[in-house]
């Protein structure tokens, strides 16, 4: 059995042009005609729709992924929801502390309500007043 030459899938402008030429075909046939298929050991052709659709999205210049952060890492984005952990703690993630430019050692005053918890950051003036009050007590 002769080995078939690997067909290089179309990308960019070539892909867009070919898809327009094939407008009367099904999406599977378009993908196949543009080179987005493989042949199995048994000789069965398998269309790779995901690669085809992703190539179309790229060719159109549509940006689906969010831009990476300044340090090049993705990470989680803030959902503005947290839940109590099994040990009873509430963990506020780094997505929030980064948005507020908080640094290690920044302090907060906790105020409890019936159905809410309020955190108010202590600024440097308040911190000095608290230290003076503690020293005199």
Is residue 121 one of the residues assigned to a domain?
Answer: yes
Is residue 102 one of the residues assigned to a domain?
Answer: yes
The pLDDT value given to residue 51? 92
The pLDDT value given to residue 111? 93
Is residue 128 one of the residues assigned to a domain?
Answer: yes
Supply φ then ψ for residue 92, to 5 degrees. Answer: -100, 120
pLDDT digits (tens, 9 = 90+) for 54-88: 999 888 887 776 655 555 555 566 677 888 899 99
Sequence-distant (≥ 6) Cβ neighbours of residue 59 within 8 angstroms:
11, 12, 13, 15, 16
Chain centroid, CA 60 distance in Å: 20
For residue 10, count other CB atoms closer than 10 A to its CB. 19
46 and 38 Cβ atoms separated by less than 8 Å: yes
- CA-nearest of 39, 59, 37 to 48 is 37
The tally of domains found in the chain comes to 2
The pLDDT value given to residue 1? 47
Is residue 48 one of the residues assigned to a domain?
Answer: yes
Residue 116: give the domain boundaries. 94-135
Indicate if the pLDDT at residue 39 is higher than 80: yes
């Amino acid at each position: 059995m002769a080995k078939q030459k690997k067909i290089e899938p179309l990308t960019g402008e070539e892909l867009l042009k070919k898809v327009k030429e094939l407008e009367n075909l099904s999406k599977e046939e378009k993908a196949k005609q543009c080179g987005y298929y493989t042949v199995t050991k048994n000789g069965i052709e398998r269309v790779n729709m995901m690669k085809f659709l992703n190539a179309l999205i790229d060719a159109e210049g549509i940006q689906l992924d969010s831009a990476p952060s300044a340090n090049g890492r993705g990470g989680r984005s803030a959902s503005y929801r947290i839940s109590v952990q099994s040990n009873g703690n509430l963990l506020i993630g780094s997505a929030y502390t980064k948005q507020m430019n908080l640094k290690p050692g920044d302090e907060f005053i906790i105020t409890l309500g019936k159905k809410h918890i309020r955190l108010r950051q202590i600024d440097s003036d308040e911190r000095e007043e608290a230290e003076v009050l503690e020293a005199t007590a």
